Structure 1
Amino acid sequence: MSALLFSTLSVALAEIGDKTQLLALLLATRFKKPVPIILAITIATLANHGLAAALGNYLNHLINPNYLSWIAATGFILMGIWVLIPDKLDDTPTKTHQWGAFLTTLILFFLVEIGDKTQIATIVLATHYSATLQVIIGTTMGMLLANVPVVVLGQFAADKLPLKWIRWTTASLFILLGVAALLFT
Protein backbone atom coordinates (compact mmCIF):
# COMPACT_ATOMS: atom_id res chain seq x y z
CA MET A 1 0.00 0.00 0.00
CA SER A 2 1.38 3.43 -0.89
CA ALA A 3 2.57 5.89 1.75
CA LEU A 4 -0.13 8.40 0.77
CA LEU A 5 -3.00 5.91 0.90
CA PHE A 6 -1.93 4.17 4.11
CA SER A 7 -1.19 7.49 5.84
CA THR A 8 -4.62 8.82 4.86
CA LEU A 9 -6.56 5.72 5.90
CA SER A 10 -4.71 5.02 9.12
CA VAL A 11 -4.96 8.60 10.43
CA ALA A 12 -8.58 8.99 9.32
CA LEU A 13 -9.53 5.87 11.24
CA ALA A 14 -7.28 6.62 14.24
CA GLU A 15 -8.79 10.11 14.52
CA ILE A 16 -12.34 8.80 15.02
CA GLY A 17 -13.19 9.46 18.67
CA ASP A 18 -9.78 11.07 19.29
CA LYS A 19 -9.48 14.13 21.53
CA THR A 20 -8.74 16.38 18.54
CA GLN A 21 -11.97 15.22 16.94
CA LEU A 22 -13.78 15.99 20.18
CA LEU A 23 -12.12 19.41 20.15
CA ALA A 24 -13.30 19.95 16.55
CA LEU A 25 -16.84 19.11 17.65
CA LEU A 26 -16.58 21.47 20.62
CA LEU A 27 -15.27 24.32 18.46
CA ALA A 28 -17.94 23.71 15.81
CA THR A 29 -20.73 23.90 18.36
CA ARG A 30 -19.19 26.92 20.09
CA PHE A 31 -18.42 29.08 17.04
CA LYS A 32 -20.81 27.72 14.38
CA LYS A 33 -18.35 28.84 11.66
CA PRO A 34 -17.21 25.72 9.80
CA VAL A 35 -15.02 27.38 7.14
CA PRO A 36 -12.51 29.11 9.47
CA ILE A 37 -12.46 26.04 11.73
CA ILE A 38 -11.69 23.68 8.84
CA LEU A 39 -9.05 26.04 7.46
CA ALA A 40 -7.38 26.30 10.89
CA ILE A 41 -7.47 22.50 11.35
CA THR A 42 -5.78 22.12 7.96
CA ILE A 43 -3.00 24.60 8.74
CA ALA A 44 -2.43 23.31 12.28
CA THR A 45 -2.28 19.72 11.04
CA LEU A 46 0.11 20.54 8.20
CA ALA A 47 2.43 22.30 10.64
CA ASN A 48 2.19 19.65 13.35
CA HIS A 49 2.47 16.65 11.04
CA GLY A 50 5.17 18.38 9.01
CA LEU A 51 7.28 18.61 12.15
CA ALA A 52 6.43 15.01 13.07
CA ALA A 53 7.36 13.71 9.61
CA ALA A 54 10.59 15.71 9.71
CA LEU A 55 11.42 14.03 13.01
CA GLY A 56 10.63 10.62 11.49
CA ASN A 57 12.81 11.45 8.49
CA TYR A 58 15.62 12.57 10.81
CA LEU A 59 15.36 9.30 12.74
CA ASN A 60 15.75 7.47 9.43
CA HIS A 61 19.21 9.01 9.06
CA LEU A 62 20.14 8.74 12.72
CA ILE A 63 19.29 5.11 13.44
CA ASN A 64 20.77 2.03 11.77
CA PRO A 65 18.26 0.81 9.14
CA ASN A 66 18.31 -2.71 10.60
CA TYR A 67 17.12 -1.37 13.94
CA LEU A 68 14.81 1.20 12.42
CA SER A 69 12.61 -1.41 10.76
CA TRP A 70 12.21 -3.18 14.13
CA ILE A 71 11.45 0.13 15.83
CA ALA A 72 8.90 1.08 13.16
CA ALA A 73 7.25 -2.35 13.35
CA THR A 74 7.05 -2.10 17.13
CA GLY A 75 5.71 1.44 16.79
CA PHE A 76 2.91 0.25 14.48
CA ILE A 77 1.95 -2.53 16.90
CA LEU A 78 1.97 -0.14 19.87
CA MET A 79 -0.13 2.35 17.85
CA GLY A 80 -2.63 -0.45 17.21
CA ILE A 81 -2.92 -1.10 20.92
CA TRP A 82 -3.09 2.64 21.77
CA VAL A 83 -5.92 3.20 19.28
CA LEU A 84 -8.08 0.82 21.33
CA ILE A 85 -8.03 3.26 24.25
CA PRO A 86 -10.84 5.81 23.78
CA ASP A 87 -9.95 9.48 24.15
CA LYS A 88 -11.87 12.13 25.99
CA LEU A 89 -11.38 15.86 25.92
CA ASP A 90 -9.47 16.70 29.09
CA ASP A 91 -9.84 20.47 29.20
CA THR A 92 -12.55 22.62 27.75
CA PRO A 93 -11.08 25.79 26.26
CA THR A 94 -11.91 28.89 28.22
CA LYS A 95 -11.63 32.59 27.40
CA THR A 96 -10.74 31.75 23.80
CA HIS A 97 -14.01 32.95 22.32
CA GLN A 98 -12.56 36.44 21.99
CA TRP A 99 -9.84 35.18 19.60
CA GLY A 100 -12.36 34.09 16.99
CA ALA A 101 -12.96 30.72 15.39
CA PHE A 102 -9.84 30.62 13.19
CA LEU A 103 -7.18 31.64 15.72
CA THR A 104 -8.73 29.63 18.56
CA THR A 105 -8.91 26.50 16.42
CA LEU A 106 -5.41 26.99 15.01
CA ILE A 107 -3.75 27.33 18.42
CA LEU A 108 -5.79 24.72 20.28
CA PHE A 109 -5.68 22.14 17.51
CA PHE A 110 -1.90 22.47 17.12
CA LEU A 111 -1.33 22.17 20.88
CA VAL A 112 -3.76 19.31 21.46
CA GLU A 113 -2.22 17.36 18.58
CA ILE A 114 1.24 17.41 20.22
CA GLY A 115 1.97 13.90 21.45
CA ASP A 116 -1.38 12.67 20.14
CA LYS A 117 -1.86 9.27 18.50
CA THR A 118 -1.98 10.75 15.02
CA GLN A 119 1.20 12.77 15.54
CA ILE A 120 3.03 9.69 16.82
CA ALA A 121 1.60 7.72 13.88
CA THR A 122 2.99 10.38 11.53
CA ILE A 123 6.46 9.97 13.03
CA VAL A 124 6.25 6.19 12.67
CA LEU A 125 4.89 6.43 9.12
CA ALA A 126 7.71 8.81 8.16
CA THR A 127 10.31 6.37 9.51
CA HIS A 128 8.68 3.49 7.62
CA TYR A 129 8.12 5.22 4.29
CA SER A 130 10.77 7.32 2.56
CA ALA A 131 8.04 9.48 0.98
CA THR A 132 7.89 12.21 3.65
CA LEU A 133 5.70 14.58 1.62
CA GLN A 134 3.21 11.78 0.90
CA VAL A 135 3.06 11.01 4.61
CA ILE A 136 2.40 14.66 5.50
CA ILE A 137 -0.27 15.03 2.82
CA GLY A 138 -1.80 11.66 3.69
CA THR A 139 -1.97 12.27 7.43
CA THR A 140 -3.41 15.74 6.87
CA MET A 141 -6.03 14.34 4.48
CA GLY A 142 -6.85 11.65 7.04
CA MET A 143 -7.25 14.28 9.73
CA LEU A 144 -9.59 16.26 7.48
CA LEU A 145 -11.59 13.18 6.46
CA ALA A 146 -12.30 12.52 10.12
CA ASN A 147 -12.84 16.09 11.30
CA VAL A 148 -14.60 17.94 8.48
CA PRO A 149 -17.81 15.89 8.80
CA VAL A 150 -17.80 16.50 12.56
CA VAL A 151 -17.36 20.23 12.06
CA VAL A 152 -20.05 20.39 9.38
CA LEU A 153 -22.58 18.00 10.86
CA GLY A 154 -21.83 18.61 14.54
CA GLN A 155 -23.26 16.34 17.18
CA PHE A 156 -25.22 14.20 14.70
CA ALA A 157 -22.05 12.78 13.11
CA ALA A 158 -20.31 12.11 16.42
CA ASP A 159 -23.29 10.24 17.89
CA LYS A 160 -23.93 8.00 14.88
CA LEU A 161 -20.45 6.58 14.23
CA PRO A 162 -19.67 3.00 15.37
CA LEU A 163 -16.59 4.07 17.37
CA LYS A 164 -15.82 0.64 18.82
CA TRP A 165 -15.82 -1.01 15.38
CA ILE A 166 -13.70 1.80 13.92
CA ARG A 167 -11.16 1.53 16.78
CA TRP A 168 -10.82 -2.24 16.31
CA THR A 169 -10.43 -1.89 12.53
CA THR A 170 -7.77 0.79 12.95
CA ALA A 171 -5.96 -1.19 15.62
CA SER A 172 -5.97 -4.25 13.34
CA LEU A 173 -4.51 -2.26 10.44
CA PHE A 174 -1.65 -0.89 12.56
CA ILE A 175 -0.91 -4.28 14.13
CA LEU A 176 -1.01 -6.06 10.75
CA LEU A 177 1.39 -3.49 9.29
CA GLY A 178 3.67 -3.96 12.30
CA VAL A 179 3.62 -7.75 11.97
CA ALA A 180 4.22 -7.51 8.21
CA ALA A 181 7.16 -5.17 8.82
CA LEU A 182 8.61 -7.65 11.33
CA LEU A 183 8.18 -10.58 8.96
CA PHE A 184 9.71 -8.83 5.96
CA THR A 185 12.73 -7.18 7.62
Structure 2
Amino acid sequence: MSTAVIFVAELGDKSQLMAMTFAARYRARDVLIGITAAAALVHLASVGIGYFIGDAFADHQQWISIVAGLAFLGFAAWTLRGDELTEDEANKARTSQGAAILAVGIAFFLAELGDKTMLATITLATQEGWLGTWIGSTLGMVAAGALPIGVGAVLGKRLPEHITKWGAAALFVLFGILLVVDGIRMIA
Protein backbone atom coordinates (compact mmCIF):
# COMPACT_ATOMS: atom_id res chain seq x y z
CA MET A 1 0.00 0.00 0.00
CA SER A 2 2.78 2.47 0.86
CA THR A 3 4.42 1.99 -2.57
CA ALA A 4 1.22 2.98 -4.36
CA VAL A 5 0.45 5.89 -2.02
CA ILE A 6 3.91 7.42 -2.33
CA PHE A 7 4.16 6.80 -6.08
CA VAL A 8 0.87 8.63 -6.69
CA ALA A 9 1.77 11.41 -4.22
CA GLU A 10 5.06 12.03 -6.06
CA LEU A 11 3.50 12.39 -9.52
CA GLY A 12 3.93 16.01 -10.58
CA ASP A 13 5.87 16.85 -7.40
CA LYS A 14 8.96 19.05 -7.30
CA SER A 15 11.04 15.92 -6.80
CA GLN A 16 10.30 14.78 -10.34
CA LEU A 17 11.44 18.11 -11.78
CA MET A 18 14.57 17.93 -9.65
CA ALA A 19 15.26 14.39 -10.86
CA MET A 20 14.94 15.52 -14.46
CA THR A 21 17.20 18.52 -13.85
CA PHE A 22 19.89 16.48 -12.11
CA ALA A 23 19.75 13.79 -14.80
CA ALA A 24 20.49 16.47 -17.41
CA ARG A 25 23.76 17.22 -15.60
CA TYR A 26 24.83 13.87 -14.10
CA ARG A 27 24.70 10.23 -15.08
CA ALA A 28 21.22 8.75 -14.68
CA ARG A 29 22.63 5.93 -12.53
CA ASP A 30 24.15 8.41 -10.07
CA VAL A 31 20.90 10.39 -9.84
CA LEU A 32 18.95 7.20 -9.16
CA ILE A 33 21.46 6.16 -6.46
CA GLY A 34 21.21 9.61 -4.84
CA ILE A 35 17.41 9.54 -4.89
CA THR A 36 17.34 6.01 -3.48
CA ALA A 37 19.70 6.90 -0.61
CA ALA A 38 17.80 10.10 0.24
CA ALA A 39 14.42 8.38 0.00
CA ALA A 40 15.59 5.53 2.22
CA LEU A 41 16.83 7.96 4.88
CA VAL A 42 13.82 10.28 4.79
CA HIS A 43 11.35 7.43 4.85
CA LEU A 44 13.24 5.64 7.61
CA ALA A 45 12.98 8.82 9.69
CA SER A 46 9.32 9.10 8.69
CA VAL A 47 8.39 5.62 9.83
CA GLY A 48 10.36 6.16 13.03
CA ILE A 49 8.45 9.36 13.70
CA GLY A 50 5.17 7.67 12.83
CA TYR A 51 5.96 4.70 15.01
CA PHE A 52 7.17 6.60 18.07
CA ILE A 53 5.46 9.97 18.15
CA GLY A 54 2.78 9.95 15.48
CA ASP A 55 0.90 13.19 15.00
CA ALA A 56 3.13 15.36 17.25
CA PHE A 57 5.52 15.86 14.29
CA ALA A 58 2.91 17.90 12.41
CA ASP A 59 3.37 20.76 14.91
CA HIS A 60 6.81 21.57 13.43
CA GLN A 61 6.14 21.16 9.72
CA GLN A 62 6.17 24.93 9.06
CA TRP A 63 9.75 25.33 10.31
CA ILE A 64 10.96 22.36 8.29
CA SER A 65 9.37 23.88 5.20
CA ILE A 66 11.08 27.25 5.78
CA VAL A 67 14.52 25.70 6.37
CA ALA A 68 14.18 23.48 3.30
CA GLY A 69 13.10 26.50 1.22
CA LEU A 70 16.12 28.52 2.34
CA ALA A 71 18.36 25.56 1.51
CA PHE A 72 16.86 25.45 -1.99
CA LEU A 73 17.66 29.15 -2.46
CA GLY A 74 21.22 28.29 -1.44
CA PHE A 75 21.28 25.48 -4.00
CA ALA A 76 20.21 27.99 -6.68
CA ALA A 77 23.13 30.27 -5.82
CA TRP A 78 25.48 27.31 -5.73
CA THR A 79 24.26 26.16 -9.15
CA LEU A 80 24.88 29.59 -10.69
CA ARG A 81 28.28 29.92 -9.02
CA GLY A 82 29.40 26.96 -11.13
CA ASP A 83 29.80 29.33 -14.12
CA GLU A 84 33.46 29.78 -13.20
CA LEU A 85 34.44 26.16 -13.86
CA THR A 86 36.89 25.45 -16.64
CA GLU A 87 35.81 22.90 -19.23
CA ASP A 88 38.11 20.32 -17.64
CA GLU A 89 36.63 20.96 -14.18
CA ALA A 90 33.09 20.80 -15.55
CA ASN A 91 33.82 17.43 -17.16
CA LYS A 92 35.24 16.13 -13.87
CA ALA A 93 32.17 17.37 -11.96
CA ARG A 94 29.89 15.74 -14.51
CA THR A 95 31.68 12.42 -14.25
CA SER A 96 32.44 12.41 -10.51
CA GLN A 97 30.15 9.70 -9.22
CA GLY A 98 30.55 10.55 -5.54
CA ALA A 99 29.95 14.28 -6.00
CA ALA A 100 26.85 13.68 -8.10
CA ILE A 101 25.36 11.18 -5.67
CA LEU A 102 26.06 13.49 -2.73
CA ALA A 103 24.58 16.56 -4.45
CA VAL A 104 21.45 14.68 -5.52
CA GLY A 105 21.09 12.95 -2.17
CA ILE A 106 21.33 16.16 -0.13
CA ALA A 107 18.94 18.05 -2.42
CA PHE A 108 16.36 15.27 -2.32
CA PHE A 109 16.71 14.77 1.40
CA LEU A 110 16.03 18.46 2.04
CA ALA A 111 13.22 18.55 -0.53
CA GLU A 112 11.41 15.67 1.09
CA LEU A 113 11.63 16.95 4.68
CA GLY A 114 8.11 17.96 5.62
CA ASP A 115 6.83 17.08 2.14
CA LYS A 116 3.46 15.42 1.63
CA THR A 117 5.15 12.06 1.02
CA MET A 118 6.95 12.28 4.34
CA LEU A 119 3.71 13.09 6.10
CA ALA A 120 1.94 10.29 4.23
CA THR A 121 4.67 7.87 5.31
CA ILE A 122 4.36 9.02 8.93
CA THR A 123 0.61 8.48 8.76
CA LEU A 124 0.97 5.03 7.19
CA ALA A 125 3.53 4.05 9.84
CA THR A 126 1.08 4.91 12.62
CA GLN A 127 -1.38 2.42 11.13
CA GLU A 128 0.82 -0.22 9.47
CA GLY A 129 4.09 -1.93 10.31
CA TRP A 130 7.20 0.26 10.06
CA LEU A 131 9.35 -2.10 7.93
CA GLY A 132 6.82 -2.66 5.15
CA THR A 133 5.92 1.03 5.15
CA TRP A 134 9.61 2.02 4.91
CA ILE A 135 10.42 -0.38 2.07
CA GLY A 136 7.21 0.40 0.19
CA SER A 137 7.48 4.17 0.49
CA THR A 138 11.12 4.11 -0.60
CA LEU A 139 10.25 1.97 -3.64
CA GLY A 140 7.37 4.30 -4.50
CA MET A 141 9.66 7.34 -4.39
CA VAL A 142 12.34 5.70 -6.53
CA ALA A 143 9.78 4.46 -9.06
CA ALA A 144 8.25 7.94 -9.35
CA GLY A 145 11.73 9.39 -9.92
CA ALA A 146 12.79 6.94 -12.64
CA LEU A 147 10.73 8.42 -15.49
CA PRO A 148 11.95 12.02 -15.14
CA ILE A 149 15.51 10.75 -14.79
CA GLY A 150 15.20 9.21 -18.25
CA VAL A 151 13.76 12.42 -19.68
CA GLY A 152 16.48 14.51 -18.04
CA ALA A 153 19.24 12.27 -19.34
CA VAL A 154 17.96 12.72 -22.90
CA LEU A 155 17.53 16.50 -22.51
CA GLY A 156 20.98 16.84 -20.95
CA LYS A 157 22.56 15.53 -24.12
CA ARG A 158 20.62 18.00 -26.29
CA LEU A 159 20.63 21.22 -24.23
CA PRO A 160 23.63 23.53 -23.81
CA GLU A 161 25.07 23.48 -20.29
CA HIS A 162 24.26 27.14 -19.56
CA ILE A 163 20.57 26.53 -20.26
CA THR A 164 20.58 23.52 -17.97
CA LYS A 165 22.35 25.51 -15.26
CA TRP A 166 19.97 28.49 -15.42
CA GLY A 167 16.96 26.18 -15.62
CA ALA A 168 18.11 24.27 -12.55
CA ALA A 169 18.76 27.50 -10.64
CA ALA A 170 15.32 28.83 -11.60
CA LEU A 171 13.65 25.63 -10.37
CA PHE A 172 15.57 25.77 -7.09
CA VAL A 173 14.51 29.42 -6.60
CA LEU A 174 10.89 28.62 -7.46
CA PHE A 175 10.68 25.68 -5.07
CA GLY A 176 12.63 27.54 -2.39
CA ILE A 177 10.19 30.44 -2.49
CA LEU A 178 7.20 28.10 -2.51
CA LEU A 179 8.50 26.20 0.52
CA VAL A 180 9.26 29.37 2.50
CA VAL A 181 5.86 30.88 1.64
CA ASP A 182 4.14 27.62 2.58
CA GLY A 183 5.96 27.56 5.92
CA ILE A 184 5.06 31.18 6.65
CA ARG A 185 1.46 30.52 5.67
CA MET A 186 1.32 27.63 8.17
CA ILE A 187 2.60 29.94 10.94
CA ALA A 188 0.05 32.66 10.21
TM-score > 0.5, shorter chain as reference: yes
Instruction: Quote the residue 1:95 is aligned against.
Output: 78
* 1:107-133 CA distance string (max 9 Å, x none): 11101110001111000000111x101
Instruction: Quote the residue 2:8 is aligned against.
Output: 13
Q: Which structure's residues are more often helix, by fraction? A: 2
Instruction: Quote the residue 2:34 is aligned against.
Output: 40
Shift of 1:59: 2.6
Instruction: Quote the residue 1:128 is aligned against.
Output: 127
The alpha-carbon distance between structure 1 residues 94 and 25, as it changes in their structure 2 partners (threshold 3 A), is farther
Shift of 1:94: 3.9
Gapped runs of 5+ residues in structure 2?
59-71, 83-92, 155-188
SS of the residue aligned with 2:114?
A: coil
Instruction: Quote the residue 1:112 is aligned against.
Output: 111
Note the 1:14-163 alignment, pairs <5 A. 14-31=9-26, 33-59=27-53, 91=73, 93-95=76-78, 100-129=99-128, 131-154=129-152
- Tell me the C-alpha RMSD between the 2 structures: 2.7
**Runs (4+) off by over 6 Å:** none
Shift of 1:43: 0.7
Distance 2:20 2:77 in 1: 15
Q: How many residues align?
A: 124
* 1:72-119 CA distance string (max 9 Å, x none): xxx9xxxxxxxxxxxxxx756342565832111011110111000111
- Matched residue type, 1:133: L
Instruction: Quote the residue 1:173 is aligned against.
Output: none
Distance 1:54 1:144 in 2: 20
* 1:43-72 CA distance string (max 9 Å, x none): 111111100100000036xxxxxxx8xx9x
Shift of 1:30: 2.5
Shift of 1:139: 0.4
Paired-residue identity, %: 35
Distance 1:19 1:94 in 2: 18
Shift of 1:19: 1.1
Shift of 1:154: 2.7
Distance 2:53 2:124 in 1: 11
TM-score by length of 1: 0.60
Shift of 1:155: 8.2
Gapped runs of 5+ residues in structure 1?
1-5, 61-67, 76-89, 157-185
Distance 2:77 2:107 in 1: 11
SS of the residue aligned with 1:17?
A: coil
